Amino acid sequence: MKTKLLICLSAIFLCFTPTKSTKSKVKSQYRKLFVGATTVNCSDDGKEKCMMVKNSPEKNWEYFHDEIEGFEHEKGYEYQLLIEIVNFTEDLEEDSSIKYILKKVISKKAVESTKSTNNMTSIAQPINKNRVSEWVLTDFIYKNNGLEAKDFEATLTMDFSQKKVFGQGPCNRYFGTLRHLEKNRVRFENIGNTKSSCNLNDKEKAFFELLPLTRSYVIEGDKMFIYHGSELILAFKKR
């Protein structure tokens, strides 16, 4: 039982309504969340309506029994959200609770009214492994802080045929090896970089520390999202 509980705790959103035993263990974290176009009955008496959510396109939809502070669901639209999971204490209670806060609406897309949320599938677009894939950094999440990359440019190039990853950081160029495991699972290894100094060294240090944490990617249109396990750590747009 202890092993199963730990697995559940390690995959946030695998259990969307935490019990008291899980609430005390969840720290403030950022997650990307897919929200379906309709709400559905999610209680035996039919009085409770829930959003349908998942944290990755290839996952199954699940009931979301809570609210997301700052987010208003509009029927007929699918959303991709960046949310913060906050562990907080009610004024008159000692037990901790979890709240979800909207940080950013990544996308909002209208869907056909006849489309059933329960049958919806979102398929991650594959990268053509015979071509070089080039991206520009838009956001990164470092030590639970969501940061936009508007005041500096960093790029990422994945060359699957040569098994190389390289690009330009805020100050320095970097390079390393790309290990493709299966489907959308990759790792960036042996990362090295040039040693020039600039006024963005702190952000560059964070960026270079996140690159080796890459475990998988999801591509949607002209955007790519990179994950460490279930944690969103980097976001890019097509160059």
pLDDT at 24: 36
Statement to judge: residues 104 and 144 lie in one domain: no
Statement to judge: residues 88 and 164 lie in one domain: no
Which residues constitute the domain of residue 199?
Answer: 132-238
pLDDT at 35: 92
Last residue of a domain, one of 119, 153, 177: 119
Strands 223-228 and 231-238 turn out to be: antiparallel
pLDDT at 145: 57
pLDDT at 125: 52
Statement to judge: residues 97 and 169 lie in one domain: no
Statement to judge: residues 141 and 198 lie in one domain: yes
**Does residue 5 fall inside a structural domain?**
no
Statement to judge: residues 159 and 110 lie in one domain: no
Statement to judge: residues 187 and 110 lie in one domain: no
Specify the number of domains making up the chain.
2
**Does residue 62 fall inside a structural domain?**
yes
Q: Which residues contact 5 (CB under 8 A, 6 or more apart)?
A: 21
* Other CB atoms within 10 Å distance of the CB of residue 37: 22
Task: Say whether 203 sits in a helix, a strand or coil.
Answer: helix
Write the CATH number for 194. 2.40.128.270
Question: Are 71 and 40 spatial neighbours (Cβ–Cβ below 8 Å)?
Answer: no
Which tens digit of pLDDT belongs to each residue from 94-103? 445 788 999 9
Statement to judge: residues 157 and 104 lie in one domain: no
* Other CB atoms within 10 Å distance of the CB of residue 177: 14
Which tens digit of pLDDT belongs to each residue from 196-228? 988 888 888 889 999 999 998 888 778 888 888
**Does residue 26 fall inside a structural domain?**
yes
For 105-141, give one letter per residue: b (16+ CB within 10 A) or e.
ebeeeeeeeeeebeebebebeebeeeeebebbbbbbb
Statement to judge: residues 75 and 143 lie in one domain: no
pLDDT at 129: 60
pLDDT at 12: 35
Question: Are 91 and 97 spatial neighbours (Cβ–Cβ below 8 Å)?
Answer: no
**Does residue 127 fall inside a structural domain?**
no
**Does residue 227 fall inside a structural domain?**
yes
pLDDT at 219: 82
- Locate 144 and state its tokens: 């639970």
Q: How far apart are CA 194 and CA 208, in angstroms?
A: 12
Statement to judge: residues 140 and 104 lie in one domain: no
pLDDT per residue of the chain (239 residues) written in tens, 0 to 9: 444 444 443 343 333 443 333 333 344 478 888 998 888 877 656 677 888 888 777 677 788 888 899 999 998 999 999 998 887 655 444 445 788 999 999 989 888 754 443 444 333 455 666 668 899 998 887 665 555 556 678 999 999 889 999 999 989 999 999 998 777 889 999 999 999 988 888 888 889 999 999 998 888 778 888 888 877 888 899 88
